[in-house]
Amino acid sequence: MPVSRILKRLGVGIAHRPQATIRHLVMRPKDPLPRGETANVIYRVKCDSCAVDYFGETGKWLQTRMAEHCRAVRTMDPLSLVAEHCANSGHTFAFQNAEILARGNDRVVREAIEAWDTGTTSINHCVALPTAYQAVQTQLSEEKSKREHRRNANPHTCEPMVDTRVAELQADIAIISSASSSGQPASVKPDGSKNASRIPVLGRRLRPMTAAQARTLEADRRPLD
């Protein structure tokens, strides 16, 4: 596993949990929940009028969280990043089309995945990841590009039909979940506006990596099979 090889050089062990277990494949005692009634999720909502999006996490039902966003926009809640964008631009968000990116029962893990996956088009308040984590993200991006190149070169290759967005997040979840340590979740203001204490979430969940180790990682990177 590429991520395991990268982090092994830094003394960080990775434990992998299979997604397709016998219980998952065979046992289906209940009908799948509607998307709106799914809880403990990391989600994304897109602006209807521009490329801006908002990443969030919630332990509530998704439809409950979307109702909170709608109420924040209606009342122009000053603590809501979504309401702020709507007020400044006159745009609206497609709350009814909220996308579930991943699930996690641990709130701190959900927050870490949210920060990890936040992109340049997001209105979330965030800071750049430490150099070591950026190196890991770069490696994951390279592996993704290689897979896409192989699929384009041989479009008839049989591959499982899965949600590619969710599949790409599994490597991120493996890193964050398996390297977790003790600590309390960072405080979060209502409707997604983060306090300054939100910044070190990833540092609490992953083992510290020094800048020197990151430079060593970059110097030792070799093409993987």
Report DSSP letters for 157-188, one per residue: -------HHHHHHHHHHHHHHHT--S-PPPPB
Query: In 10 A of CB 221, how many CB atoms?
Result: 15
What total of structural domains would you count in the chain? 1
Instruction: Please say whether the beta carbons of 192 and 80 come within 8 A.
Output: yes
Instruction: Please say whether the beta carbons of 81 and 193 come within 8 A.
Output: yes
pLDDT exceeds cutoff 80 at 61: yes
pTM for the complete prediction? 0.54
Instruction: Please say whether the beta carbons of 193 and 55 come within 8 A.
Output: no
Averaged pLDDT for residues 203-220? 46
Average confidence score pLDDT of the chain: 72
Q: Is residue 20 part of a domain?
A: no
pLDDT exceeds cutoff 70 at 140: yes
Instruction: State the pLDDT confidence band at 100, using cuts at 50, 70 and 90.
Output: very high
Q: Is residue 180 part of a domain?
A: yes
Domain that holds residue 155: 2-13+34-220
Instruction: State the pLDDT confidence band at 207, using cuts at 50, 70 and 90.
Output: very low
pLDDT exceeds cutoff 70 at 120: yes
Q: Is residue 53 part of a domain?
A: yes
Q: What pLDDT, on a 0 to 100 scale, did the predictor assign at position 128?
A: 60
Instruction: Please say whether the beta carbons of 11 and 210 come within 8 A.
Output: no
Q: Is residue 24 part of a domain?
A: no
CA distances from 166 to 41, 68, 161, 173, 217 (A): 12, 25, 12, 10, 27
Q: What pLDDT, on a 0 to 100 scale, did the predictor assign at position 97?
A: 92
What is the C-alpha separation between 167 and 183, in angstroms, rounded? 28
Averaged pLDDT for residues 150-179? 54
